[in-house]
Amino acid sequence: MDYSVFLHLAIVLLLSKLLDILVRKIGLPQVLGSLLAGIIIGVTGLVSDKQELKPFAEIGVVMIMFSAGLETNFKELKRNGAASLLITSLGVIVPLAAGLGVSFMIPGLAFKQRLFFGVILTATSVGITVSVLRELGKLHGKVGATIVTAAVLDDIIGIVILAFTAGQVEPTTWGYKFIELCAGDMSGVSEGVVTLVNVLFFFVIAVVVGIAVHFLFKFLAKRFPHTRRLSIFGLAMAFLFGWGAEELFGVAAITGAFVAGMMMSNMNQSDYVERRVDMSAYMLFGPIFFANIGISLDYGSLVENFNWTVIGFSLVFIVAGLAAKLLGCGVGCLMCKYKFGESVEVGIGMMVRGEVCLIVAQKGVELGLIDGAYMPAVILLVVVSSLITPIILKVAFRKFPQYDDGDMQTPPTPLAREELIASLEGGDSSAAQAPEQNNGDGAQHDGQNG
């Protein structure tokens, strides 16, 4: 084993925490500190092997999405489900058209190559937005529920579009095997059809298994309240759903984790599990996920491909990518009779791009759909959107105070992020100390029950 990973973890955690404290003191969302830490580490090369932190980052985003699923209010989802579908549709169509239009700055491309620039712009990185919403205490309300639901739907639609443009479907997925079993010959079956079958299979099986998980968790919560086994069971389900989504159906792991959280939400003891998951995510995996976005970027390509053509395209590409999500999702909200302030907040929340955008772009480079010389445009889009979205989103919630989450009659977060931070840093918040008392009782109880 290469023990340098411990040194790199220490560097990431220490620098992230220092910058978290700094950005909080100047009134910025603290997730911005971890993002900046990742960029500093990536530029300076403090972490030599960029792949060694990737498993930690993957665990982090799964835990974040699982926690978001635990906080899901089904009444709010039911109220905003149809609206989120329209918002997501426009939030995909407008960026797709914007990327296609911007691509005409590059001469000599085939239509499929031009369309792929639009596919890159359709991706949304929900992890950053979810963290900011939770920090601002807005994840439970109408805006938060809409953003999370739209982001999940965005991921699904993005998978289908990517399948049509990139044409890559794993033969190990259940949808592929099912069609192969029925048709016998896969030569005449398009990748898009296989992807649609995979998505359908995933949600059908996820609901069936999720119902069983729901009743099992309900039994465990009643039989063993406030015990560590509840949190362990919850995390196991998050990882299991994430693995199944990615490996068996070709759906992103974060979608599986979110569904697992939804199946265990709005139940007795789900608050306890959420607090435990939050603590683990805050202490280690969350900061690594956000920092890894900056660490994993290829800064060498920014220098190597530095020329005015790429710079001009990159600037237009970034502006188009941000504006397209804001316009598409914002107009969708207005069409669903959201208030203007809510529409702006949802549009801003959907602007951020992250690892999904990079993965899609890299896949395009591998398949020859885009020239590697234009990867800096994608990298800059990820950096800029990741840095400015938390800031703009916080400003938007201050600018449009007419919306009050309390009006939605949704339960408040059991342990607000600030109180969680205070408890972990030795604060004297009574709200933070109360759960710790419960946790201690739970640990003793758990020890007695094995």
Helices (H) and strands (E) in the chain, counts: 21, 0
Distance of alpha carbon 151 from alpha carbon 84, whole angstroms? 9
Pairwise CA distance, residues 154 & 16, whole Å? 29
Euclidean distance between CA atoms 135 and 360, whole angstroms = 29
Per-residue pLDDT tens for 6-35? 999 999 999 999 998 998 887 666 777 888
Q: Among 38-47, 142-151, 210-219, 318-327, which is the least confidently predicted range? A: 142-151
What is the pLDDT confidence band of residue 332, given thresholds at 50, 70 and 90?
very high
- pLDDT recorded at residue 249: 87
* Domains in the chain with CATH codes: 4-414 (1.20.1530.20)
What is d(CA 424, CA 419) in angstroms, rounded to the nearest whole number?
9
Cα–Cα dist 98/96, whole Å: 5
| Residue 316 burial (CB count, 10 A) | 15
Supply 302's token pair.
């920014």
Sign of CA dihedral 338, 342, 344, 350: negative
Separation of alpha carbons 287 and 322, rounded Å:
24
Model pLDDT, residue 97? 95
Note whether 53 and 47 are within 8 A (CB). Answer: yes
**According to the model, what pLDDT value does residue 166 have?**
64
Over residues 128-158, the pLDDT tens digits come to: 777 778 777 777 778 888 888 887 777 778 7
pLDDT per position as a tens digit, 267-312: 777 778 888 888 888 788 888 988 888 888 777 776 776 778 888 9
